[in-house]
Amino acid sequence: MKYFSLSNNEIVFPFKEAVIKGLAPDRGLFFPESITPLPKAFIENIEAYSNVDIAFEIIKQFVGEEIPEKVLKQIIEETIPFDFPVIPITENVSTLELFHGPTMAFKDVGAKFMAKCLEYFNEESNEEVTVLVATSGDTGGAVANGFLGTKGVNVVILYPSGKVSDIQERQLTTLGQNITALEVDGVFDDCQEMVKTAFLDEEIKPNLTSANSINIARWLPQMFYFFFAYKQLKSQHKEIVFSVPSGNFGNICAGFMAQKLGLPVRHLVAATNVNDTVPNFLKSGQYDAKPSIATISNAMDVGNPSNFVRIQQIFDNHFDKLKEHLFSYSFSDEDTRMAMKEIHSDSNYVADPHGAVGYLGLKTYGLKENQIGVFLETAHPVKFLDVVKNTLNVDVEIPSQIQKVMDREKERIPIKSYEDLKGFLNS
């Protein structure tokens, strides 16, 4: 499989090089040259397949022959050894829990898949790669855990000071080994801009790649979730509407890729917090990126979502076609807290702030009688303990995955500018 730059379709790389580079030399995001729908018989009989078999069928065309099938299956087995349950909330609304991995966030899947791919590519090489990644919350912990101890890979994580939860910060600052955390005096968009600038800086000495969802090996495995949910819901014979809490728009973009592969999805809803760049774009037709605003759903605090250009590419950059398929709504912190209370009152289910925004997306969309709505619960509520306790007045049991980092000392390096980052990388 070849990948072209969305800034210049004449810039083309195979899967391996696209993964290692992260971004194209012109700063464009990579996109697959072709998307071949899966056989209808496979989707019709999806209940007969294991999650590993489903994931393998989904991803193999995007990897091509660059990883042998036997190795690719082993990578998938190590990537998804946990469950992805669909939990009923009300009669026609369910949630897809994506937090049963090692850092209790949906990004565990993409981070581990990418780490194992890089490990395979580095098996016969003595060259080191530096994974440079910006996080608004959960990406940092997932990447740190996924790449911990990976041969030939150093990880540098940029995160905005004071704008991630305490547990999120602990997950990316307490592991040591090949993981370094840089605490940026700014917002997520500043972190993301520094990462993109570093990729184009010819004076940077290390070989850089990114583990944000801009990297194809982080982004594409997110298609798995939507097929796993369909497998569990298929027997209900209802149209499915997914509502995806959206920050950098990688997850919902993967949902549209799943739809392109033939997954029967009625609609996808991008539910955002007050960082409403995309909802406003769908109303006005004008894309107006702006500085991100801090909210209680901090992993979605993105003012200029990188992956939105991929969604536009899926719909041939045709605005009217995009509006037919993508619904997007924004919600305030007050809305979010009310939704958390409503979900808990109706079903005794404790949703995190991001899942609550996804739930609101379904309510605003307006489900019909023959439809079932699924909102993605992207992180365990314990990762936002203060918000959950203050909103619902409930105690949340701290799982073992979280307990093991609670007593460790945070280690991070404060930086204020791109020059600080450059100096660190070149030291």
CB 189 within 8 A of CB 158: no
Token pair of 376, please?
């993605």
**Using one digit for the tens of pLDDT, what is the confidence trace for 80-99?**
999 999 999 998 999 999 99
Which has more confidence, 273 or 102? 273
What pTM did the predictor assign? 0.90
Instruction: Choose, from 16, 21, 107, 416, the residue flagged as catalytic.
Output: 107
Beta-bridge partner residues of 156:
132, 180
Token pair of 400, please?
């073992």
Within a domain: 12 = no
Question: What pLDDT, on the 0 to 100 scale, is given for residue 30?
Answer: 97
Examine the pLDDT at 11 and tell me if it is beyond 90. yes
Question: What pLDDT, on the 0 to 100 scale, is given for residue 380?
Answer: 92
Q: How far apart are CA 250 and CA 29, in angstroms?
A: 12
Within a domain: 34 = no
Lowest-confidence segment of 21-30, 102-111, 206-215, 343-352 by average pLDDT = 206-215
Residue 162: name the closest of 138, 179, 186, 143 by CA.
186
Within a domain: 42 = no
Domain carrying residue 96: 83-105+219-396
Question: What pLDDT, on the 0 to 100 scale, is given for residue 145?
Answer: 84
Within a domain: 43 = no
Within a domain: 118 = no
Across the range 231-241, mean pLDDT stands at 97
Across the range 326-354, mean pLDDT stands at 96
CB 413 within 8 A of CB 183: yes
CA atoms within 13 A on the CB side of 191: 33
Within a domain: 369 = yes
Q: How far apart are CA 14 and CA 326, in angstroms?
A: 30
**Using one digit for the tens of pLDDT, what is the confidence trace for 150-182?**
878 899 999 999 888 888 888 889 888 899 999
Within a domain: 99 = yes
Within a domain: 153 = no
Q: How far apart are CA 139 and CA 145, in angstroms?
A: 10
**Using one digit for the tens of pLDDT, what is the confidence trace for 279-296?**
999 999 999 998 889 899
Q: How far apart are CA 421 and CA 21, in angstroms?
A: 19
The number of distinct structural domains making up the chain is 1
Question: What pLDDT, on the 0 to 100 scale, is given for residue 181?
Answer: 93
- What are the distances in angstroms from CA 110 to CA 98, 188, 218, 250, 356? 12, 20, 4, 11, 23
Q: How far apart are CA 232 and CA 180, in angstroms?
A: 39
Per-chain mean pLDDT for the chain: 92
Q: Dmax of the chain from CA atoms?
A: 61
Q: How confident is the model at residue 5 (pLDDT cuts 50, 70, 90)?
A: very high
CATH number at residue 260: 3.40.50.1100
- In the annotation, is 389 catalytic? no
